[in-house]
Structure 1
Amino acid sequence: MKIKVGLMLLVLLSGCGEPLPEKGFAGLGDQAAAFTPVVPGRVFSFPADHGIHEGFRIEWWYVTANLKDAQGRDFGVQWTLFRSALNAAPQANGWRNQTIWLGHAAVTSAAVHHAAERYARGGVGQAGVQTTPFEAWIDDWRFGTQASGADPLADMQLTARDPRFSYALRLTSARPLVLQGDQGFSQKSEQGQASYYYSQPFFQASGELEIDGQRYQVNGPAWLDREWSSQPLTANQTGWDWFSLHLNSGEHVMLYRMRHKDGAPYLTGTWIDPQGRAQTLHAGEISLVPLDTAKVAGHSMPVRWSLKIPGKQLDVTTQALNPNAWMNLRIPYWEGPVQLSGSHGGNGYLEMTGY
C-alpha cells in the first residue's frame, strides 16, 4: 500500500514546518473535491499506468526487498518515490510547476536501520517519471528498466545512496502484475475512499548493499507497489498497518488495517497464488492481532503480530527483523522487514503509520 506506501505518506509541503494534521495521517484525509476521484471500473493500461497520473493528488512508486548474503544474514531495502500535486490545475513548466516530489530510501539489518529522504520541485528535471523507457528518479536515486521487450518491469535496476548506506540491485520477474482490490480499485474505508492499486510481488533481487562501509552481496524476493489517489483516507482514520508477505510455499499476501480514531479498523487484503491469480480477502476472513510492542523513538509500536487466514490454512506470527526500524524523517513512521513462523515460513515487510 505503501499503502506500502502501499498507500503512503503524502507530504503537503506547502506547510513544511507545521505539525502533522489530525485529519487523516499526513493530510491524506483532507477533502480533495478539485482533484480526479477514484471510482470503480477503471481499465488499466500498461506501460502508460506505470507513469504519472495528472489530476490526482498523490501517487507513489514503492519497492521493498527481503535480502540475504552468502552467510545467511538478513537485510531489508526500501525505495519510494512520491508525487504530490499542490493543486488540480495542469502542471506548468519550470519553477511554476505545482508538483512536489519526495524520495525515501532505507536499509535494515538485525542491528542497524538507516533512512534518508530527498525533496524536489517538479518541472526542472530533478525528479520525475517517464514511461519510454520507464524510469523513476529523484537526484541519483533511480528505479529504471533494463528490459528490451514489451514489459518494462521484466528487468529493473534500483539504486540509492546516502553517506551511511547504498544499494544497487537488479530486479527481474516473468510473472504478471497483480491488480489489488476490485480489479485495481482498492477501497480504504466504508465511506468509499480508495486508490488505484497494482503490485508486482514476484520480483527477484540481486546485487550489492553497503551499510556503514561494509559491503554485502545479496539476493532475495522484492515487491513493487503502485498507487494513486486524491483522498485515500477519511478524516477519522489516523494511520495504517500494512503487510506484504512472501510465503515459502509460493503464495504472496498483501493486507492492511486502516485505524480509526473511534470504531473498528477497516481490514482487507489479497491472497496471490504462485501463478499470480489474486483473491480479495475481506475483514471476516482475516484475523490480525498485535502481540508484542516495543518502545521505538518514544512510540509504542506493535512489532510482533498474529496473522490468521483460516480459509487458506494460514496461521503465522510475524516478527520484526529489527524492532527499531523507525523512519526518522520529516513525516516519521515505522517500516522494516519481518520474518514469519508458524504454518508457513517466509518473510516480508511491515509499515506502520500514525502512531
Structure 2
Amino acid sequence: MAYGGERHSASAFLALLAGLLLLAACEAETPPAVGFAGLGGSAAGFARVAPGRALGFPADHGAHPDYRIEWWYLTANLEDAQGRAWGVQWTLFRNALQPGSHETDWRNQNLWMGHAALTGADGHRYAETFARGGIGQAGVMAEPLQAWIDDWQLASHGPANGGLGELELNARGAGFGYRLRLTSARPPVLHGRKGFSQKSAQGQASYYYSQPFFQAEGSLLLDGQRHAVTGQAWLDHEWSSQPLAPDQQGWDWFSLHLQTGEKLMLFQLRQAGGAHYRAGTWIAADGQAQSLSEADIEMVPVHFSRVAGRRLPTAWRLRIPAKAFSIDTTPLQEQAWMATRFPYWEGPIRFSGSHQGVGYLEMTGY
C-alpha cells in the first residue's frame, strides 16, 4: 500500500505559482544549484554559519530569514494497542530567495514546503504541500513555538524546557492523518560544537539542535480507522546557507532511541568521489551530549532494496567501538519512499545487537 500526493488549496496554488516564477527569475541570474536539492549551491549574500554563535531558547525555535535554508523536522516511533509498530514524520521547510525577508505581504521572499508521512508494516502514505511566506499561510513563531503550513501544525503549550515541554502535532493527507501530544522533561540537545554542526572538510556547516526525549501519545487515522498510539519522538531544527559541499550528493541520517535510555544521532554525507564525511552525537540518558567524529563511526550497508526504480541500502550495520556499540538496522517498511518535489527515503527502523531499540533513517540523493 503506497500513496503519494500534493495538497493545494486555491490560495496555496497561487502562492506556489508566484513562488516558482520568482524562483525561476532568481535562478536565471545564478549558476545552477548543486548537491541534493540545491543545498550545495552558492550562498552569496546569505548569513554564514560560523562556530561560536550561542544558541538561545526559545528564540532560536523561530525562523532565521538571514539564512537560505531551514527545517523543523519531527519523527515518532509509535505502537498501537495491538502491538503494531507505526512511524510518523512531519517536516516544515523554509527556503529563502533572498536574505533577510521579513515582509508580511506578497513581497516576502520565503517559500515554504511541508511533508507529512505515516508508515506501517503494510505500507507508507505521504503528502506534500506548498505555501508562500508573508501572507499567513505558513510560518514559524518562536515564543511560544508555532510552526504551521495550511492546517498542519506543531504548537507549544508552555514555556517549560526551553519551550519544548509540551507540544501538539497534527497533519493529514489523502486517507491518513495524525494528532499527537508530545512531552519532555529535558532541555534541547546541541550537536557538534555547541550547535555548530560541520558537514564537510571544506567547512560547510549548519546550526543544529534536537529534542530527542519526547514521549508521544495520540491517534492515527488510516482509511477511516482510528488507532490510539504511544511511543517516542525526536524533533530536529537545523538552518544554514550552504549545508552541503558542491560535490556532496546526499546523506544517510539516523536517529536512534536505545532501550537503555540513551539517544544517538549519526550521519554521513556522501562525496562524489566515494569518500564520506561522518559525524554524530551520543546522548546519555540524562541528556549529556558527546560529539562523535569520523574516526569514531563505522557505517556499512548490509542489504539493498529496489525502491522507486533505485537501489537503496535499506539495512545497515552501525558501530561505535569506543561505546561497545554494534547494531544491525532493519526497516519497518522497505518502500518508505517520499516521491516529493525532491524525492528521498524516510522511514522507521528497528535495531538489534549490542543494543536494542527503534529509530528513523533518512536517505537522500539516490
Amino acid at match of 2:227: Y
8 Å Cα contact 1:22-1:238 kept in structure 2: no
- In 1, the alpha carbon distance for the partners of 2:88 and 2:67 equals 28
| Aligned residue number for residue 333 of structure 1 | 344
1:35 pairs with one of 46, 50, 53? 46
Partner of 2:326: 315
Runs (5+) with no aligned partner, structure 1: 1-10
Contact 2:161 2:185 in 1 (8 A): no
2:288 equivalent to 1:277? yes
Alpha-carbon distance in 2 for matches of 1:133, 1:177:
15
Give TM-score scaled by structure 1 length.
0.93
CA distance in 2: counterparts of 1:191 and 1:132, whole angstroms: 35
- 1:97 and 1:309 mapped to 2: Cα distance? 45
- Residue 257 of structure 2 corresponds to residue 246 of structure 1: yes
Q: Which residue of 2 aligns with 1:218?
A: 229
Task: Give 1:296's match in structure 2, choosing from 307, 329, 339.
Answer: 307
Secondary structure, in 3 states, of the residue corresponding to 1:240? strand
CA distance in 1, matches of 2:33, 2:305: 24
Distance 1:192 1:256 in 2: 16
3-state DSSP class of the match of 1:335?
A: strand
- 1:166 is aligned, of 177, 190, 212, to 177
Could you say which residue in structure 2 is the equivalent of 1:188? 199
CA distance in 1: counterparts of 2:184 and 2:24, whole angstroms: 40
Q: How many residues align?
A: 342
Shift of 1:150: 6.5
Q: 1:229 to 1:29 in 2, by over 3 A?
A: same
1:132-152 C-alpha deviation (Å, 9 max, x unpaired): 322100000000012254632
Q: Which stretches in structure 2 are left out of the alignment for 5+ residues?
A: 1-15
Is residue 259–residue 357 contact of structure 2 (8 Å, CA) maintained in 1? yes
* Cα distance in 2 for residues equivalent to 1:290 and 1:309: 15
SS of the residue corresponding to residue 164 of structure 2 reads helix
1:89, distance to aligned residue in structure 2 (A): 4.4
User: Which ranges of 4 or more aligned residues in structure 1 deviate by more than 3 Å?
Assistant: 148-151
1:266-309 per-position Cα deviation (integer Å, ceiling 9, x unaligned): 01111000011111111111110000000001011101000011
User: Is 1:122 aligned to 2:133, yes or no?
Assistant: yes
Q: What is the 5 A alignment of 1:95-110? A: 95-110=106-121
Deviation of residue 211 (structure 1)?
1.5
Structure 1 segment 196-215 matched on structure 2, within 5 A: 196-215=207-226
- In the alignment, the residues of structure 2 paired with residue 81 and residue 237 of structure 1 have an alpha-carbon distance, to the nearest angstrom, of 23
Q: Note the aligned Cα RMSD (angstroms).
A: 1.6
Q: Deviations over 1:121-171 (max 9, x none)?
A: 001000011123221000000000122546321000000011211000000
| Structure 1 SS opposite 2:319 | strand
> SS of 2:82's equivalent?
coil
Instruction: Find the residue that maps to 2:45 and give its secondary structure.
Output: coil
CA distance in structure 1 between the aligned counterparts of 2:274 and 2:352, rounded to whole angstroms: 30
**Aligned partner of residue 311 in structure 1, secondary structure:** helix
Deviations 1:64-85 (A, max 9, x none): 0000011110000000001111
In 1, Cα distance between equivalents of 2:43 and 2:282:
31
Task: Tell me: CA distance 1:22–1:323, structure 2 relative to 1, closer, same or farther (3 Å).
Answer: farther
Of residues 87, 91, 103, the one that matches 2:102 is 91
Hey, what does 2:278 align to over in structure 1? 267
The secondary structure found in structure 2 opposite 1:95 is: coil
CA contact (8 A) 1:102 1:118 kept: yes
TM-score (norm 2): 0.91
Task: Calculate percent identity across the aligned residue pairs.
Answer: 58
CA distance in 2, matches of 1:280, 1:336: 25
CA distance in 2, matches of 1:149, 1:250: 21
Amino acid at match of 2:55: F
SS at match of 1:96: coil
